[in-house]
Amino acid sequence: MLKNAFLTLLALAIAIGGGGGSVWYALKTQDGIGAIRIGQWTAFPDIGTQAADPYSKARVAREGVLALGQAEGLSFVAERDSGGELLKRQCAYEIEGGFPTARFWTLYAADQSLGVVETGKPRPAALQSYQVLRQPDNSVVISVGNRPAPGNWLFSDGVGRMYFVLTFYDTPIASSTGLSDVTLPQIAKVGCNA
Amino acid sequence: MRKLLHAILLGLLGAGIVHVVVLLLVPGFSERDAWSRLAMASDLYRMTRLDAEAGGAPVVKSVDPLFYAAACRFDLSEGMVRVKAPGNVPFWSASVYDRGGHNIYSFNDHTATGKVLDTIVLTPAQMIEIRKDLPEELQGAIFVEAPIDEGMFVVRSFVPDDSWKPVVSRFLEQSSCELQDY
């Protein structure tokens, strides 16, 4: 009798714990269903629309996100550098490459909650396309780190994990057909302040 | 031993069912969604700043740091809603969301006449009604048909650098979100 009760309890614990835990885990990971990956950059073009999958819908509801509409823009998030290692706030990076067509774009260094990194200085950890210097071939090189750098410098500071959020505004790539042949810049690690 | 294995298998099967059920229930029961957060911050038909710049924590998460945003909640069953914002800013975009935070319609300043934000959100039934006799002052407005009752209207505006902050702030603070009688 007691053994039966124990087995029932075990089955219930696995069902509720496993079911709930797996949902929590699925919503927490950046990579998910409905994601489009270009190099190290991930986007969810369907997020916040009626056509989104149940995971995206749950994520929207749980985090209170108001996703950008298609006529507004599309956000890409990177959590690893081109070498496949997680981005860290104590490291310096170089973001280099061409950017797809858009009216303008913004790039910022983010913390775990995808809010902008608090630098504690007047300079925000964000750049936008009207203020960057370009190479002769129209590509852009951006140095990321806590030391000022010549050219384009994205200031980031502190320790812990970091994400880059790159958002294109008023862009044709937001319609999903435009996403097939888009290339995004590479993220190379320069060095770390261990 | 076989009984234990049986219980574990049953548990895993149950976990699958619980996974699906919880996933589908999350949107309906979430008290942290955008609508609830906005409801805590302000009333219906009140434009509320979403970014942290206006003081206090940001109301809705993940707003671009180079953007300011404002939102209002509306209820189309009470009548159509008109959103206006004066002034000239480098870029603005607007979105209509339903109660659950799904983006129904979005547009930006290139869509609007003379880059001025003047929009009416209404249901298809109200649209038929208003088409019969379009009032003079609504001629230049963008009409957004949304088959919803409760919803949210969000205006986002680009702040290229610090010098634009007062201008963009004023743009959002002078924006209005009014129930339109017709």
Query: Rounded CA gap, A96 and A151, in Å?
Result: 12
Nearest-by-CA chain B residue for A25: B19
Taking only the tens place, the pLDDT of each residue in B78-101 is 889 999 998 789 999 999 998 888
Structure tokens at B28: 């309906």
Q: What 3-state class would DSSP assign to A136?
A: coil
Contact A140, A99 (CB under 8 A): yes
pLDDT of residue A48: 78
A57 and A127 co-located in one domain: yes
pLDDT grade, residue B55 (50/70/90)?
A: low
A118 and A25 co-located in one domain: no
Selected residue with higher pLDDT from A149 and A178? A149
A69 and A115 co-located in one domain: yes
Give B34-180's CATH code, choosing from 1.10.3470, 2.170.270, 3.30.70, 2.60.40: 2.60.40
Lowest average pLDDT, out of A49-58, A75-84, B20-29, goes to A49-58
Does residue B62 carry a pLDDT above 80?
no
CATH of the domain at A113: 2.60.120.600
- Contact between B106 and A63 using a beta-carbon 8 Å cutoff: no
**CA nearest neighbour of A167 among A119, A99, A89:** A99
Does residue A180 carry a pLDDT above 80?
no
pLDDT of residue A132: 93
A26 and A101 co-located in one domain: no
**CA nearest neighbour of A66 among B107, B34, B106:** B34
Can you tell me the ipTM of this complex? 0.83
Tell me the nearest-neighbour CA distance from B48 into chain A, angstroms: 14
Tell me the nearest-neighbour CA distance from B173 into chain A, angstroms: 20
Query: Rounded CA gap, A105 and A130, in Å?
Result: 8
A7, A23, A125: residue with CB nearest B19: A23
Q: How many domains does chain A have?
A: 2
Which domain covers residue A39, as residue numbers?
33-192
Query: Rounded CA gap, B63 and A74, in Å?
Result: 13
**CA nearest neighbour of A175 among A87, A111, A101, A92:** A101
- Contact between B108 and A71 using a beta-carbon 8 Å cutoff: yes
Q: What 3-state class would DSSP assign to B126?
A: helix
Structure tokens at A68: 């950008």
A14 and A45 co-located in one domain: no
Taking only the tens place, the pLDDT of each residue in A39-67 is 889 888 777 787 788 888 888 888 778 88
DSSP 8-state secondary structure symbol assigned to residue A172: G
Strand order, beta sheet including A140-145: A152-155, A140-145, A91-97, A186-192
- Mean model confidence pLDDT for chain A: 86
Whether A169 has its CB under 8 Å from any CB of chain B: the answer is yes
A99 and A5 co-located in one domain: no
Best B2, B13, B60, B106 member to test A by mutation, with max A CBs in 10 Å, is B106
Cβ within 8 Å of residue A24, ≥6 positions away: none
A79 and A118 co-located in one domain: yes
A168 and A122 co-located in one domain: yes
Tell me the nearest-neighbour CA distance from A192 into chain B, angstroms: 26
pLDDT of residue A140: 94
Residues of chain A positioned with their CB less than 8 A from the CB of B156: 68, 72
A65 and A138 co-located in one domain: yes
Best A12, A30, A66 member to test B by mutation, with max B CBs in 10 Å, is A66
Give the domain ranges of chain B: 34-180
Does residue A152 carry a pLDDT above 90?
yes
DSSP 8-state secondary structure symbol assigned to residue A68: P
- Contact between B91 and A16 using a beta-carbon 8 Å cutoff: no
A26 and A39 co-located in one domain: no
The pLDDT of B110-129, averaged and rounded, is 88
- Contact between B11 and A18 using a beta-carbon 8 Å cutoff: yes
- Contact between A49 and B103 using a beta-carbon 8 Å cutoff: yes
Whether B57 has its CB under 8 Å from any CB of chain A: the answer is no
- Contact between A73 and B3 using a beta-carbon 8 Å cutoff: no
pLDDT of residue A33: 67
**CA nearest neighbour of A188 among A69, A87, A56:** A87
Expressed in angstroms, the distance from the first to the final Cα of chain A is 58
Query: Rounded CA gap, B165 and A90, in Å?
Result: 30
- Contact between A104 and B158 using a beta-carbon 8 Å cutoff: yes
A169 and A149 co-located in one domain: yes
A91 and A140 co-located in one domain: yes
